[in-house]
Amino acid sequence: MSVNAMPVPQPWIRRYWRDRATWTTIADVFAILAALTLPWSTTLPSIFVPCWLGAVAWVTDWRAFARLLQQPICYLPLAFAALAAVGTLWSDAAWGARLWSVGPLLKLLVLPGLFYHFARSKRGMWVFIAFLVSCTLLMVMSWIVLIDPGLSLKPPAERAPGIFVKNYIDQSQEFALCAVALAYPIIRLIQANRLRPAMLLVALSLGFLVNMSFVIVSRTAMVTIPIMIAVFALLHLKWRTSLMISCGLVVLAGLAFAASPLLQQRAAAIVIDYQMYKQQNVPSSVGLRLEYWRKSLQFFAAAPVIGSGTGSTLGLFQKAASGIGDVATAQVIRNPHNQTLAVAVQWGTAGIILLYAMWFVHLRLFRGEGLVAWIGLLVVVQNIFTSLFNSHLFDFHEGWMYVLGVGVAGGMILAERGGTSAERAGS
C-alpha cells in the first residue's frame, strides 16, 4: 500500500446508520410533529408516533431502559395495559369488542420510551412549543369559522360554531391546558421585569379563555379550569397574592358570565337537562351521564374484584336497558363517561388501584419548581378532573395529551434531577 494512499471515506449512510446524535434528532422531529398535528388530526399523530418509536429503539441502551422499567412511573402504566389484555380472558363480549377495548390503553406503552428519550434529548420544550403554536393556529381558525361556517372541514351535518376540525370537547381541553399552563411563565416574566413578553403571553392566554367564553366550550372545561387555576395559586403564589388574584378572577368570571350568552346557556342547560331526565326520562346530556353512572355502579357491585372483563361494557348496558324508544333508561353505550367507572366495570377494584396508583406516581414525579414540572403536573391534574365526566385516558386526543405531556415532561424532569440516569426515575 502506498504511503500516500488516503483512507476511503465511508458512505454517509453508513457513517450515520448507528450515530446516536443523528437518530436522537430524527426522533425529536417525529415527536415535535406528533405534538404539532395532534390538535388537528388523528391520522398524522398515529403515523408520527410509531416513526418516533422506531427512531428511539434503533439507538436505545437496552440495559438502561430495563433499569428504567423497574420504576413505578413506567411499570404501572404497563401493568394497567397488561390488565386490559388479560381481562379479555374473562369477558363475555365478542372477541372483536374485547380487542377493540384493549386498543385505547396501548398508548400507555409509549410512556417508558418517552421518559427514556427525553431524559437524553435537549429538545423536550420544542414539543410543548409546537403544541402551543398549533393550538394558537386552531384558535385563529375557530374565530374564522365562527364568521364563515362554510370554511369548516367538518361535514355539514356535524358542524358547530367555531369548530374547524374535531369537536368542541377536544378543542376545549386543548385550549384550557394552554391557557392555564401559560400562567407560570407569565408570573416568572413579571417577576423578572420582562413585561413585554409577559403581556404577549397574557394576551395569548386570554385569547384561549375568550374563545371558550364566547365561541364554544365544554362544560367539563368550565368545571376544571378553576380547579387548575387553584392548583397553580396554591403551589406558586403567596397566600395574599393568591387571594387578590382569586378575587380578580371571580370578578372577571362574573363579568364574562354576564356578557356571554354561551356561558349562560351552558350553565342553564345543566339544570334543565337534569329536570328533563328525572321528570320525563328524557335522554339529555346530564341525564344520560347520571343514568350511565347509576348502571355502572350496579355492574361494578356485581363483579367488584376483577370486573366483567375487557370490552364488556356495551353488552352490560344492552342487558340493563329498559323502556322503549328514545328514553334515557333505554340508551346503551360502550363508555359510561367517567374514567373510574369505565375501569371499574371492566377490571373491578384491581383496575381502579392501578389507575389511581399511576396517577399518583405521575403527580409525585412533578413535585417541585420549574416550568417543566408545572406543565407535567397540570397535564395530570387536568386528566384526573376531566375524567370525572369523561374517560379521557381512553379517548384519542385527551389520552395522547396525557401520554405526550407526562412522557416528555417526565423525561426532562429525570434529566434535571440526575442527568440521563434511569436509576433516578421516580425518586
- Per-residue model confidence as pLDDT tens digits over 126-181: 999 999 999 999 999 999 998 888 888 888 877 788 888 888 888 889 999 999 99
What is the per-residue pLDDT for 72? 96
Distance between CA atoms of residues 259 and 257, nearest Å: 5
- The more confidently predicted of residues 409 and 162 is 409
Maximum Cα interatomic distance, the chain, rounded to a whole number of Å: 98
Residue 365 is inside which H or E element, if any?
A: helix 339-365
pLDDT given for residue 427 in this prediction? 40
Euclidean distance between CA atoms 324 and 132, whole angstroms: 47
d(CA 329, CA 191) in angstroms, rounded, equals: 55
pLDDT one-digit tens code per residue, 360-404: 999 999 988 899 999 999 999 999 999 888 888 999 999 999 999
pLDDT at 1 over 50: no
CA distances (Å), 120 to each of 27, 63, 406, in order?
11, 15, 16
C-alpha cell at 176: 384550557
Name the residue with cell 420510551.
Answer: 113
Which of the 8 DSSP states describes residue 145? H
Q: Which long-range contacts (CB under 8 A, 24 or more apart) does 20-28 make?
A: 20/59, 23/55, 23/56, 23/58, 23/59, 24/59, 24/117, 24/120, 24/121, 26/55, 27/52, 27/55, 27/56, 27/117, 27/121, 28/121, 28/123, 28/126
Phi and psi (nearest 5°) for 390? Answer: -150, 165
| pLDDT for residue 257 | 58
Tell me phi and psi for residue 4, to 5 degrees. -90, 0
How would you label 323-358 residue by residue, b for 16+ Cβ within 10 Å and e otherwise? eeeebbbebeebbbbbbbbbbbbbbbebbbbbbeeb
Q: Are 68 and 407 in contact (CB under 8 A)?
A: no
16-20, 196-200, 344-348: least confidently modelled range: 16-20
Q: Which residues contact 42 (CB under 8 A, 6 or more apart)?
A: 396, 397
Mean pLDDT for all residues in the chain:
83
pTM for this entry: 0.86
